[in-house]
């Protein structure tokens, strides 16, 4: 009887945490970056919704179009995956991106930007800018493009817009961020206040990933590396989603507060009991709710009229 009650007590979030821990348990100091990337891709492989996937070279950057049925050809979401700028790919995020595409009714271009330590900052940012230019070269107006990304990909969403603004380029219609990593200096109070609640992402790990991305002499307060330190004025509408259990919670909440103060239309959603990028786990009911909300945001700003039923 005790065993049965323990099984009942296991929540979808608990199961997601165990999925993550099972990956990390296999890694040691001797595990190569290539093996880590392969393990991460394998752990999240597959696609749970009906979409068409087509590989593409986006101006020389490897990418993939993920397209739901009846998606308009004159609209697109540009997606940047997470993984601390060290791991992650279109393969590891294909299911998450596909669920966003399916819920929004919009095609998504996901790209494999270059990763560190082989390619440090600003290589990922340069690739992201090339992908944005590629979409515009295809005839898409910036008003018909939205950005989306999770974790380090959320960082890139902001950094690309800041870099584009600095170059006088037009900005996309809107941007959706899931658990964005905006402060590579890790100064948020949540790195301490959420340390016990966060099952995976501790401050030492975050700082190690930042150093891996920036190099030993890189500046973690460079606004294009840590958008929290940037002037955010003039950015398009933002949707920011974050779990309340995350050590990087304040990366999202402080970013949202700073954006609002700069006059940016910003919606912040803090999801109780949720972990870092909980949207990646279809078994968590709140993941579906968050994706539905994100899809509504994208449809609104891309002016995609029909509403899709969630899978």
pLDDT at 310: 47
pLDDT at 157: 98
Q: Does 307 reside within a domain?
A: no
Q: Among candidates 226, 62, 30, 66, which has minimal Cα distance to 134?
A: 62
Total domain count, the chain:
1
Residues with Cβ < 8 Å from 88, sequence gap 6 or more? Answer: 37, 40, 81, 82, 115, 152, 153
The predicted model gives 279-297 an average pLDDT of: 97
The predicted model gives 178-205 an average pLDDT of: 95
pTM: 0.95
Choice among 89, 92, 104, 151 that is catalytic:
151
- Give tens-digit pLDDT for 239-265: 999 999 999 999 999 999 999 999 999
306: confidence class by pLDDT, cuts 50, 70, 90: low
Examine the pLDDT at 223 and tell me if it is beyond 80. yes
The predicted model gives 202-230 an average pLDDT of: 96
Q: Does 308 reside within a domain?
A: no
Q: Does 166 reside within a domain?
A: yes
Q: Does 115 reside within a domain?
A: yes
Half-sphere exposure of 41 (CA within 13 A, CB side): 13
- Give tens-digit pLDDT for 96-107: 999 999 999 999
Instruction: Return mean pLDDT, the chain.
Output: 95
Q: Does 223 reside within a domain?
A: yes
pLDDT at 103: 97
Known catalytic residue at 151: yes
SS3 letters across the chain? CHHHHHHHHCCHHHHHHHHHHHHHHCCCCCCCHHHHHHHHHHHCCCCCCCCEEEEEEECCEEEEEEECCCCCCCCEEEEECCCCCCCCCHHHHHHHHHHHHHHHCCCEEEECCCCCCCCCCCHHHHHHHHHHHHHHHCCCCHHHEEEEEECHHHHHHHHHHHHHHHCCCCCCCEEEEECCCCCCCCCCCHHHHCCCCCCCCCHHHHHHHHHHHHCCCCCCCCCCCCHHHCCCCCCCCEEEEEECCCCCHHHHHHHHHHHHHCCCCEEEEEECCCCCCHHHCCCCHHHHHHHHHHHHHHHHHHCCCCCCCCC
Percent of the chain with pLDDT over 90: 94
pLDDT at 161: 98
Q: Does 145 reside within a domain?
A: yes
Q: Does 311 reside within a domain?
A: no
Domain harbouring 112, CATH code:
3.40.50.1820
Higher pLDDT, 309 or 158: 158
Percent of the chain with pLDDT over 70: 95
- Give tens-digit pLDDT for 28-84: 999 999 999 999 999 999 999 999 999 999 999 999 999 999 999 999 999 999 999
Examine the pLDDT at 136 and tell me if it is beyond 90. yes
pLDDT at 5: 45
Its domain, for residue 179, covers 12-302
Q: Does 210 reside within a domain?
A: yes
């Amino acid at each position: 009887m005790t065993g049965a009650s323990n099984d009942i007590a296991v929540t979808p979030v608990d199961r997601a945490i165990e999925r993550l821990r099972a990956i990390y348990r296999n890694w040691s100091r001797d595990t190569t970056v290539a093996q880590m990337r392969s393990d991460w891709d394998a752990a999240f492989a597959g696609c749970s919704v009906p979409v068409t996937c087509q590989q593409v070279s986006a101006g020389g950057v490897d990418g993939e179009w993920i397209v739901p049925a009846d998606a308009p050809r004159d609209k697109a979401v540009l997606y940047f995956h997470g993984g601390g700028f060290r791991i992650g790919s279109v393969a590891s995020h294909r299911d998450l991106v596909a669920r966003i595409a399916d819920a929004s009714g919009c095609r998504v271009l996901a790209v494999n930007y270059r990763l560190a330590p082989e390619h440090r900052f600003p290589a990922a940012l340069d690739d992201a800018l090339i992908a944005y230019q590629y979409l515009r070269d295809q005839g898409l107006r910036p008003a018909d493009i939205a950005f989306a990304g999770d974790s380090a990909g959320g960082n890139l969403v902001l950094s690309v817009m800041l870099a584009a603004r600095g170059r006088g380029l037009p900005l996309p219609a809107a941007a959706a961020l899931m658990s964005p990593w905006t402060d590579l200096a890790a100064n948020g109070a949540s790195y301490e206040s959420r340390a016990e609640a966060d099952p995976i992402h501790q401050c030492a790990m975050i700082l190690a990933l930042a150093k891996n991305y920036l190099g030993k002499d890189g500046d973690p307060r460079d606004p294009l590396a840590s958008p929290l330190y940037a002037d955010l004025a003039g950015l398009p509408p933002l949707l920011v989603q974050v779990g309340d259990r995350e050590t990087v919670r304040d990366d999202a909440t402080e970013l949202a507060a700073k954006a609002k103060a700069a006059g940016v239309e910003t919606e912040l959603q803090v999801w109780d009991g949720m972990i870092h990028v909980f949207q990646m786990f279809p078994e968590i009911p709140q993941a579906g709710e968050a994706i539905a909300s994100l899809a509504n945001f994208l449809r609104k700003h891309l002016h995609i009229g029909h509403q899709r039923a969630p899978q």
